[in-house]
A and B are shown apart, each in its own frame.
Chain A
Amino acid sequence: MTDPDSKTPPADGALVQVRDLRTVLGGKTIFDRLDLDIPRGKITAIMGPSGTGKTTLLRHITGQLKPDAGSIRVDGQDVPTLARGALFDLRERIGFLFQNSALLTDFSVFENVAFPLRQHLKLPESIVRNIVLTKLQAVGLRGAADLMPSELSGGMARRVALARAIVRDPMLILYDEPFVGLDPIALNQVLKLIRTLNDTLGITSILVAHEFAAVARAADLVHLIAGGKLVASGTPDQLSHGESAWTKQFFGGEADGPVPFQYPARDYAADLGFAAASAGAP
């Protein structure tokens, strides 16, 4: 299963290094000795079939979930072994965009974006205001500062969440399915923001998404995960022309292939009760 285009980037330039990762959740092996590098200053997309553990990987990187074995180094620190205090210090430098935006529903847009500032820094109100309004301007929602989260559309909520994720100028930002449920206009707005933020602020970005067309326009590098392993990685262009069975199926969108159409199940005939007798008798 060696893919011609599966070249891992040089380890020294990596902000996130995943080595020998093993995770079993509810009896199902999610990662089986996964090795992965996220280079600094680039947008790296993590793609793969549904249920392959992309969101789980993000939760490992941010220390929300401990793996069964292996190491995950973020900026040199081994996340699974960090104490709560050190983990929180690390998280202060990481932005996370939740799939459902996860805005605090009791606070206005302004207060949502100001929340990380108010919690961690004792800044004068005028500076908080300036920082928050700058970030809201960057996502195009300065005019919506006084709205409540319930008054926002899905795309607007995601942009507010994005402003909140970057309000402390993180070194790393993780996007969990940022394009799901967005109309084409909102999708393009979010896409452009991800690209602009990465270029202007020099943030390292990890992007988990299914929409290859969108990913191809934003990402510098794509990692394809399937069956608990890294099966291919390269630029979007390289992968879309990849020759391996994995890349062909995934980027060709074929229904069956190395990723089976059928969820693992017992023998079909036995399940229907036809072959039960014959299966029992030798």
Chain B
Amino acid sequence: MSSVRRPPSMIGDALAQVGACGLFLLQVLAAVPKSLRHFRETVRQIWFTGAMSLVIIMTCGLFVGMVLGLQLYYVLSIFGGTAALGTVVSLSLYRELGPVVTALLFAGRAGTSITAEIGLMRATDQLAAMEMMAVDPLAYVAAPRFLAGIVAMPLLACVFNALGIFGAHLVGVSWLGLDNGTFWSNMTSSVDVWKDVVNGVWKSVAFGAVVSLIAVYQGYTTPPTSEGVAYATTRTVVFSSIVVLALDFVMTAFLM
């Protein structure tokens, strides 16, 4: 009995965390219908986690695209296949880099602030005060942030992809002299909307759910001390990164 209550190892501890997080997900999902009454709060959170992350997402997207353009141009030129630059860049962005890098950036930019905000609300009794005013914090605080992550992540990933392709175009066409028509026509003829673009969007939706769930859960269950909040924000980034990369592999295997 005691071994169930107190997992003896780090693995047991991690499994207990996953289980608790899963139960928390069920609670949040159950609170979603009620949270639609606070729809303005969800919109505010989409603005806060999504729109406020645009600058970092756009900057990183641009540079990732430029680096991709540069590296791939060099590799492709060895085989004399620089005409495929547009295709290769857009496929790697749509299928992998867009969703994954956006999710990692989102965890660092929005996930940490969600965790710290909820953790401080816990530490200053604001969550308890809501409970005492008969307002369910799961519906008012947790669910809107969770939904906002699901909505914001795919949109941010699309922006990231667009800026990435623009960056690759900048390097490949404007700088290295690849033909503009070749760049675009090869891309449009070989990128499939459903298999490449939509599958990438599905990944983003899943990553949005996972990252915002971890962020909200860490904030919600943080010990009400300054050290507790500090650890919780760290854990948000660490766990989100691990889970996003692992889930990426699983989803890629199934969506291929």
Which residues of A pack against B, CB within 8 Å? 62, 64, 88-89, 91-92, 94, 96, 98, 100, 102-105, 115-116, 119-120, 164
**Nearest chain-B residue to A84 (Cβ)?**
B136
**Nearest chain-B residue to A174 (Cβ)?**
B132
Complex Cα spacing A120 to B140, Å? 12
User: Nearest 7 A-B pairs (CB), nearest first?
Assistant: A102-B129, A102-B125, A88-B134, A96-B132, A91-B134, A92-B134, A116-B133
Would B133 and A98 count as touching, CB distance under 8 A?
Answer: no
Min CB distance A175 to B, Å, is: 13
Would B128 and A100 count as touching, CB distance under 8 A?
Answer: no
A residues near B140, Cβ cutoff 8 Å: 119
Min CB distance A191 to B, Å, is: 22
Would B129 and A91 count as touching, CB distance under 8 A?
Answer: no
A residues near B130, Cβ cutoff 8 Å: 104
Interface residue tally for chain B (C-beta within 8 Å): 15
Would A116 and B128 count as touching, CB distance under 8 A?
Answer: no
Min CB distance B209 to A, Å, is: 25
Starting from the known contacts A64-B131, A116-B135, 7 additional A-B residue pairs (CB-CB under 8 Å) come to: A64-B132, A89-B134, A91-B131, A91-B133, A91-B134, A92-B134, A119-B140
**Nearest chain-B residue to A63 (Cβ)?**
B131
Would A100 and B133 count as touching, CB distance under 8 A?
Answer: no
Would A102 and B124 count as touching, CB distance under 8 A?
Answer: yes
**Nearest chain-B residue to A104 (Cβ)?**
B126
Complex Cα spacing A91 to B135, Å? 9
Task: Count contacts between A and B, CB distance < 8 Å.
Answer: 48
Which B residues, 117 to 148, have Cβ-Cβ distances below 8 Å to chain A? 120-121, 124-126, 128-136, 140
Min CB distance A87 to B, Å, is: 8
Would B136 and A88 count as touching, CB distance under 8 A?
Answer: yes
Query: Which residue of B121, B128, B133 is within 8 Å of A115 (Cβ)?
Result: B133
Would A105 and B133 count as touching, CB distance under 8 A?
Answer: no
Min CB distance A91 to B, Å, is: 4
Would A105 and B126 count as touching, CB distance under 8 A?
Answer: yes
A residues near B126, Cβ cutoff 8 Å: 102-105
B residues near A89, Cβ cutoff 8 Å: 134
A residues near B135, Cβ cutoff 8 Å: 115-116, 119-120
Would B134 and A62 count as touching, CB distance under 8 A?
Answer: no
Min CB distance A151 to B, Å, is: 16
Min CB distance A208 to B, Å, is: 15
Min CB distance A88 to B, Å, is: 4
B residues near A119, Cβ cutoff 8 Å: 133-135, 140
Chosen A-B contacts, 12 in total, with CB atoms closer than 8 Å, are A91-B131, A91-B132, A96-B132, A100-B124, A102-B124, A102-B128, A102-B129, A104-B129, A104-B130, A105-B121, A105-B124, A115-B135
Would A94 and B132 count as touching, CB distance under 8 A?
Answer: yes
Would A98 and B129 count as touching, CB distance under 8 A?
Answer: yes
B residues near A115, Cβ cutoff 8 Å: 133, 135
Complex Cα spacing A88 to B134, Å? 5
Complex Cα spacing A169 to B129, Å? 17
Would B129 and A120 count as touching, CB distance under 8 A?
Answer: no
Would A98 and B128 count as touching, CB distance under 8 A?
Answer: yes
A residues near B129, Cβ cutoff 8 Å: 96, 98, 102-104
Min CB distance A157 to B, Å, is: 11
